Amino acid sequence: MEMGRGLGVGVHGRTWSSANPPTEEDMDLRRGPWTVDEDLVLMNYIAAHGEGRWNCLARCAGLKRTGKSCRLRWLNYLRPDVRRGNITPEEQLLILELHSRWGNRWSKIAQQLPGRTDNEIKNYWRTRVQKHAKQLQCDVNSKQFKDVMRYLWMPRLVERIRAASGSSPAAIYQNASVPMAGSEQPAEPGSEAGQVKLSPETSSAAGSSLDSVGMQFSSPRISDCFSECYGGMQGGENRNGDGIPDVQIGGWWPESLLSPGGNSNQGLPDFEQGAWGESLWSVEDTWLQQQF
């Protein structure tokens, strides 16, 4: 089951070309998914000799893989502290916050989520977040999309975390430690386990739907605005569990959502893929997004 990519990479990271043909050793390299045996060899070798010098390691361990491939396999999969499974709401909150600040600095973001790899976070972002940006028909880097994240998803994640834990929003923000706004400095090693606090800006924004418990928010109350316009029609959440809004492709107001008494989920794709339940998205969200 080989992946069959075009260019080859030699054991020393060299790319092959007509001027630089692959050596016999290069030709013998394996690619594609790792086998259980290979995993065992790699794990045993690292257990005995430690990490580092990946190209050397690959050779010495007898693995017909590039050092790069070994390193990737170890870091993303075999490392004992790699945490697998669904991204939790707390982690999602962190990812949203950190990405809004640092952009696609996946490894930097991953440092704030112990046990998570940059690859995993990157995949999460691409499969979940970017998908929804596409459905909202806006660029993932657009202000509109960022506002939706900041004023909609993050408050809901906080609510969800609170509901699950019984914590106050303030406690949630203290626990979900993320770097300060405007701080481009990497967290100091050893300082609070390399973690800092959620930005005040985000805290207040994320508290938008928590104002009943004392958090400040300058924008209009979502529910109030919505009920003024569309009183009573708030049952439209889908079952998307990832905390990311979900809308009908191609427009803000799907017919099915507007039909009185209709099933507000009709026509909405179901994005419940995660482990945590009901959706965070509703007709209300659609209205709010239009305000951005």
Partner DNA sequence: AATAAGAACAACCGCACAAAC
Partner DNA sequence: GGTTTGTGCGGTTGTTCTTAT
Q: Which residues bind DNA (CB under 7 A)?
A: 1-9, 12-15, 30-34, 52-56, 65-69, 71-73, 76-77, 84, 86, 104-108, 118-120, 122-124, 126-128, 131, 242, 269-271, 273-274
The backbone torsions φ and ψ at residue 156, rounded to the nearest 5 degrees and listed phi first, read -75, -35
Alpha carbon 24 to its chain's center = 41
> By C-beta, is 70 or 233 nearer to DNA?
70
**CA-to-CA distance for 174 and 35, rounded, in angstroms?**
42
Long-range contacts of 26-32 (CB under 8 A, 24+ apart): 28/64, 29/64, 29/65, 29/66, 30/63, 30/64, 30/65, 31/2, 31/3, 31/5, 31/65, 31/69, 32/1, 32/2, 32/3
The least distance separating DNA from the CB of residue 278, rounded to whole angstroms, comes to: 15
The least distance separating DNA from the CB of residue 176, rounded to whole angstroms, comes to: 20
The least distance separating DNA from the CB of residue 95, rounded to whole angstroms, comes to: 12
Residue keyed to tokens 């709401």 = 89
- How far CA 85 is from CA of 117, 121, 275, 276, 278, in Å, comes to 12, 12, 9, 12, 18
> By C-beta, is 3 or 212 nearer to DNA?
3
3-state helix vs strand vs coil in the chain, percent to 5: 50, 0, 50
> By C-beta, is 39 or 211 nearer to DNA?
39
The least distance separating DNA from the CB of residue 15, rounded to whole angstroms, comes to: 5
> By C-beta, is 6 or 231 nearer to DNA?
6
**CA-to-CA distance for 48 and 60, rounded, in angstroms?**
12
Neighbouring CB atoms inside 10 A of 253's CB total: 13
> By C-beta, is 101 or 207 nearer to DNA?
101
- Exposed / middle / buried, residue 141 (Cβ in 10 Å: 0-12, 13-18, 19+): exposed
The least distance separating DNA from the CB of residue 198, rounded to whole angstroms, comes to: 21
> By C-beta, is 124 or 226 nearer to DNA?
124
Neighbouring CB atoms inside 10 A of 13's CB total: 11
The least distance separating DNA from the CB of residue 291, rounded to whole angstroms, comes to: 26
> By C-beta, is 119 or 227 nearer to DNA?
119
> By C-beta, is 203 or 264 nearer to DNA?
264
The least distance separating DNA from the CB of residue 195, rounded to whole angstroms, comes to: 17
Single-letter amino acid, residue 215:
M
The least distance separating DNA from the CB of residue 10, rounded to whole angstroms, comes to: 9
